[in-house]
Amino acid sequence: MAELSHFDAQGASRMVDTSVKAETERVAVASARVRMQPATLQRIRDRGLAKGDVLEVARLAGIMAAKQTANLIPLCHPLPLTAVQIDFAFAADDQLQIEATVKVIARTGVEMEALTAVSVAALTVYDMCKAIDRGIIIECIQLESKTGGKTGDFRRTPETP
């Protein structure tokens, strides 16, 4: 197993020194699932909530969150993101799938930015719909893939724990 890079030899927290790494294109894709009552998902589809278009507000929240990741996760580097894309799919009559793709040309990856984006997008869906469905469940927040960097590429498979 690889060593944890955010701790020094004495166990103290540290920000990883990336100054010697080459700048390369990095891409990360993360996803989340939001389960809710079918009637709630139908109202999202129909844009029938008084607060407005849930998916567009969630998309903006996810993009904004990706850009603020270094302010939320203590040891993340602030990164000049080159693209953030948030996509939604109606996976079942009671499930909304959220996917974020984040890109950067930098010395470190954007996995945390993609994970933050889908998390905040999912929380925004909950916030906008909680008045009609408090039982909404946010689940399966996970990295789907990443490219670039010293550790190479990663792609989730059905066998990935």
Cα separation, 34 vs 140, in Å, equals: 9
Active site residue 127: yes
Residue carrying structure tokens 């909404």: 136
Whether 148 and 137 have beta carbons less than 8 Å apart is answered as no
Instruction: Give 143's strand partners.
Output: 30
The one catalytic residue among 87, 94, 127, 133: 127
Count of Cβ atoms closer than 10 Å to residue 145 Cβ: 16
Alpha helices (H) in the chain, listed in sequence order: 38-45, 54-67, 69-72, 111-129
Active site residues: 127
